[in-house]
Structure 1
């Protein structure tokens, strides 16, 4: 017990030293504050996944009452004011990027519809705006189908279905992308900054030559490594929780359904895991530049293939298994979504936490082995 108390005291003192080093680095503190405040808010409010303010042009060669009614159906907030253009202006308007959609209504379109003759509409789409093109095309088809049904019925109506279909969107009833992107941005920031801070702390010790001071102190490699991980991960964890409450809940109005304490516990476990990964990358690099070149691709791969950006189910099966075996991020994303969105308790998410702990323990063992060889060789 006495030996354990000595080890804990050494870790605490070294952690305080790390915290003082972080506090002295003003640019790092500004980066952490910016990442968990301004960056989260701007990404949530600016990077919208749903279609809004789409630009559409109408080539009306029919000039009928139905064509005018169809044109009026494309209004805000889904569409901006409709641009009435001629057929000669289509190419220039789309080449310049002024219009994403152009709908051409042919002559005698209303007469052909009422007479039951075959006719058609042409919708030109600028597919370089991929999200708008995909979602907007679906909305435009639904609007056209509804207006044609109204025309044939002679009144405002909806397509009759043999069933009464009631759609209820759970956990995000307004289908607002900011509810998703704000929380996912916090998870991304936890991963990025924990890796960067822990790895940079080790590289900084080696570049400044202060690691030699540690070598003559009565401390062990595991104590030094734990202190760096606890201090840097702790700063990120505190910033993440403040961001979740102040920015996500208060500023953006995103409700948190589950327990903040449970999320903080899971985030602490995850931060410990990626901190070990940061130490491991720090032992593989000798300069800050090399560390950056190592950390950036690791972060990009872990985030893009974690389920935070695209569903895991859309990936190849072999890649899903690879990410779930070697990366703790997919398990943390599933844990966070379960707790924060669906209000899940520990009984529903304990398997994800167990997998994060297992992968983190493996990273820690490998990093400790490398740390002893590189620092204490």
Structure 2
């Protein structure tokens, strides 16, 4: 092995990447606009949900209920007629349509149990699920206060004091921004190394390399360090300029420690990208295989849902995936300010998984060259 060969081949990969405008555009988009839009798209599960109200009672109570639906959870209610409700929901204009029947206030004061109909567009899954609970709580609270003629301030038997650590504002933008950086590191490292190898094969330059005094190990390690370096630099700039700068997300821990963990993770995922490229014949095949591999890796890594909520068999299997450990150390460092004394098991796991993937991919790469 000659270090000069590895360095020169790595610079060749960087020059090849620089001549590919689509991949460059993908890198820029993934670490800028994709991070910003994904973070801004999830500030609240229920945000400005469109609601319409059919007020057939025209009473002080129905007016009070109508006035209780305010931003940011709901948009200003549209007052419509019963004949308009189906047409508006068919057109997707309203997620919720609340129908207050005639004589609603009179029946309530007479001791009866009147009924209010809530129509929900269940195709808007997240808003429909959480919004129905919000609507029920708002209507119940307004009816109770109206019927009792005062606001209920009864003393609760237990005083629950809420302390939100690491995200005191409970701002989902903080979570979304960092997690998208983590996910894009995994995605782009696999895409770039796989594309680099397939590009060599499609252009016929891999045969040129084989007649030179260069070993398969040198070819592979050059692709690993060059593409890994591109993703590492892009992620560092994204954390600084987009996450901390544009989105004003506080980073509690050491960014250099996070980047060290990201480098180990990139060693594993770039090796995985080369392995996937050796078992596919073209970029379309590589893209299809990537969807089958990348989606389970990201969904089951613990970044979207806690690992504890998954079946035990899935938890055990995913311990063999590099991004499971990367998500654990990234969240510990960036969210909770953990140091090396806390995340060293994840560092060791990434080093072991990366070494195994590299050896396995190198063997498959050598076989593909025969």
- What TM-score, normalized to structure 1? 0.91
Alignment-derived partner of residue 349 in structure 1: 343
Counterpart secondary structure, 2:2: helix
Q: Following the alignment from structure 2 to structure 1, what is the Cα–Cα distance between the partners of residues 154 and 138?
A: 12
Change (3 A) 1:284 1:20: same
Q: Does 1:333 align with 2:327?
A: yes
* Deviation string, structure 1 residues 284-324 (Cα, Å, up to 9, x no partner): 12222222222222112212222223333343332232222
- 1:261 deviates by 0.9
Q: Following the alignment from structure 2 to structure 1, what is the Cα–Cα distance between the partners of residues 295 and 365?
A: 24
- 1:160 deviates by 4.2
Change (3 A) 1:140 1:169: farther
Alignment-derived partner of residue 202 in structure 2: 207
- 1:11 deviates by 1.9
Alignment-derived partner of residue 116 in structure 2: 121
Alignment-derived partner of residue 77 in structure 2: 82
Alignment-derived partner of residue 289 in structure 1: 284
Q: Following the alignment from structure 2 to structure 1, what is the Cα–Cα distance between the partners of residues 356 and 47?
A: 45
Counterpart secondary structure, 2:98: strand
1:17-96 to 2 correspondences below 5 Å: 17-96=12-91
Change (3 A) 1:79 1:158: farther
Q: Following the alignment from structure 1 to structure 2, what is the Cα–Cα distance between the partners of residues 141 and 168?
A: 27
Q: Following the alignment from structure 2 to structure 1, what is the Cα–Cα distance between the partners of residues 253 and 188?
A: 25
Q: Following the alignment from structure 1 to structure 2, what is the Cα–Cα distance between the partners of residues 59 and 317?
A: 49
Alignment-derived partner of residue 3 in structure 1: none
Q: Following the alignment from structure 1 to structure 2, what is the Cα–Cα distance between the partners of residues 113 and 279?
A: 70
Q: 1:222 aligns with which of 184, 193, 217?
A: 217
* Deviation string, structure 1 residues 24-50 (Cα, Å, up to 9, x no partner): 323322221122112211222235552
Q: Following the alignment from structure 2 to structure 1, what is the Cα–Cα distance between the partners of residues 315 and 269?
A: 19
Q: Does 1:301 align with 2:296?
A: yes
Q: Following the alignment from structure 2 to structure 1, what is the Cα–Cα distance between the partners of residues 213 and 149?
A: 89
- 1:281 deviates by 0.7
* Deviation string, structure 1 residues 330-367 (Cα, Å, up to 9, x no partner): 22112211111121222222222322222222211110
Q: Following the alignment from structure 2 to structure 1, what is the Cα–Cα distance between the partners of residues 312 and 81?
A: 49
* Deviation string, structure 1 residues 101-130 (Cα, Å, up to 9, x no partner): 112223343344445433332222111101
- Contact 1:50–1:176 under 8 Å retained in 2: no
Change (3 A) 1:153 1:342: farther
Deviates more, 1:113-122 or 1:290-299: 113-122
Q: Following the alignment from structure 1 to structure 2, what is the Cα–Cα distance between the partners of residues 43 and 280?
A: 30
Q: Following the alignment from structure 1 to structure 2, what is the Cα–Cα distance between the partners of residues 237 and 244?
A: 11
1:158-169 to 2 correspondences below 5 Å: 158=153, 160-169=155-164
- 1:232 deviates by 0.3
- Contact 1:59–1:87 under 8 Å retained in 2: yes
- 1:167 deviates by 2.2
- What TM-score, normalized to structure 2? 0.93
Please list every run of 5 or more consecutive structure 2 residues that lacks an aligned counterpart in the other structure: none
- Contact 1:198–1:232 under 8 Å retained in 2: yes
Q: Following the alignment from structure 1 to structure 2, what is the Cα–Cα distance between the partners of residues 9 and 110?
A: 85
Alignment-derived partner of residue 357 in structure 2: 363
